[in-house]
A and B are shown apart, each in its own frame.
Chain A
Amino acid sequence: MPNPADIYERIVNAKVYIDKNLDEALDLGCIARQANFSPYHFHRLFTNIYHKTPHQYLTYKRLQKAKELLEKEGISITEVCNTVGFESLGSFSTLFKKDSGDAPLYYRNIAYLKKKLAKEQPKRFIPHCFVETYNL
């Protein structure tokens, strides 16, 4: 029976593997192998530690990464979808909207507008108490 420190290290290795390979077609067997556990044991341990199943965690990280990419310029929605490992634009858009409340394109447009506005009128983004304290 592995000791708790060993279990944490192995599960963390698998989590980091997910973080670094979001664009790959990851399945439970492949992720569990990074931790050297059977898929069943890995699923149970991972869920116990992170309060999310490996699949839920993978989707969560992919959507986070998608938001980050959508806030950048010069990358299309389809490229974002592929870069974060979703197989179809339809499922990506549906999951994205369910998670953030907005469609990817709308999210991108709002992020772009916010960046532009922050550059042009930064004080719109700084509560006045800070403006006054820092003499801006």
Chain B
Amino acid sequence: MITKLSHTSLFVTDQQKAYEFYVNTIGFKVNTDVTMENGFRWLTLTPPDQPDLEIAILAPLHGGMHYTEEVTNAFKTLLENNALGAGVLYTPNCHATYEELKAKGVQFKSAPKEQFYGIEAIITYGCGNWFSMTEPKTM
């Protein structure tokens, strides 16, 4: 029986920059932040109301990785082009959160827009990926 998602990974170009964004700007919590002897930093964050979902913020270009050069380069290309859609962040009100985050300097690829699913804005934060910030439609 599988009951929930406990860990997921998010590749970023810069772990510290991602930390600043997730923790200091949008209010995620640090679950574990430890640096190993070989310099690998295990940094996991949790959304404010999901304390048991750990998002591992990973630097894919870390030297010790078992990926081939070809795979590493592919990651690099995807991240450099902000091509990775990382997920959907829930908000109770997309317009209000957009106003608040914009005032904090967060970059948006698109402003809140009514979509079939709900109201959605797209956030980028300069770490190689982007997020949808969505207020789902009520039934």
Chain B 74-104 per-residue mask, 1 if CB under 8 angstroms from chain A, else 0: 0000000000000000001101100110010
Please tell me which one of the listed residues B40, B44, B48 contacts residue A64 in the complex, with CB atoms under 8 A apart: B48
Q: Are A135 and B56 in contact (CB under 8 A)?
A: no
Chain B 59-77 per-residue mask, 1 if CB under 8 angstroms from chain A, else 0: 0001011110000000000
Measured between alpha carbons, how far is A4 from B36 in the docked complex, in Å?
50
Please tell me which one of the listed residues B42, B65, B103 contacts residue A135 in the complex, with CB atoms under 8 A apart: B65
Interface positions, chain A 52-68, Cβ under 8 Å from B, are 64, 67-68
Q: Are A15 and B42 in contact (CB under 8 A)?
A: no
Residues from chain B with a CB closer than 8 A to the CB of A132 are 66
Q: Are A122 and B96 in contact (CB under 8 A)?
A: no
Q: Are A15 and B100 in contact (CB under 8 A)?
A: yes
Interface positions, chain A 1-23, Cβ under 8 Å from B, are 4-5, 8-9, 11-12, 15-16
Please tell me which one of the listed residues B42, B65, B95 contacts residue A125 in the complex, with CB atoms under 8 A apart: B42
Measured between alpha carbons, how far is A5 from B99 in the docked complex, in Å?
9
Residues from chain A with a CB closer than 8 A to the CB of B66 are 132-135
The B interface, classified by DSSP as helix, strand, loop or mixed, is mixed
Residues from chain A with a CB closer than 8 A to the CB of B93 are 8, 49-50
| A130-B56, A136-B40 known; A8+B99 contact, CB < 8 A | yes
Measured between alpha carbons, how far is A99 from B138 in the docked complex, in Å?
26
Q: Are A125 and B96 in contact (CB under 8 A)?
A: no
Measured between alpha carbons, how far is A48 from B66 in the docked complex, in Å?
49
Tell me whether A118 is interfacial, beta carbon within 8 Å: yes
A91 to chain B, nearest CB (A): 22
Tell me whether B16 is interfacial, beta carbon within 8 Å: no
**A binding-site residues for B, Cβ under 8 Å:** 4-5, 8-9, 11-12, 15-16, 49-51, 64, 67-68, 114, 118-119, 122, 125-127, 130, 132-136
**B binding-site residues for A, Cβ under 8 Å:** 7, 9, 29, 32, 34, 36, 38, 40, 42, 44, 48, 56, 58, 62, 64-67, 92-93, 95-96, 99-100, 103
Seed contacts A12-B99, A130-B58, A133-B67; 13 additional CB < 8 Å A-B pairs: A4-B95, A8-B93, A12-B96, A50-B96, A67-B29, A118-B32, A118-B34, A125-B42, A134-B40, A134-B65, A134-B66, A135-B64, A136-B40
Q: Could you write out 17 A-B pairs with CB less than 8 Å apart?
A: A11-B96, A12-B99, A15-B100, A49-B92, A49-B96, A50-B92, A50-B93, A51-B92, A118-B32, A122-B34, A125-B32, A125-B34, A125-B44, A130-B58, A135-B65, A135-B66, A136-B64
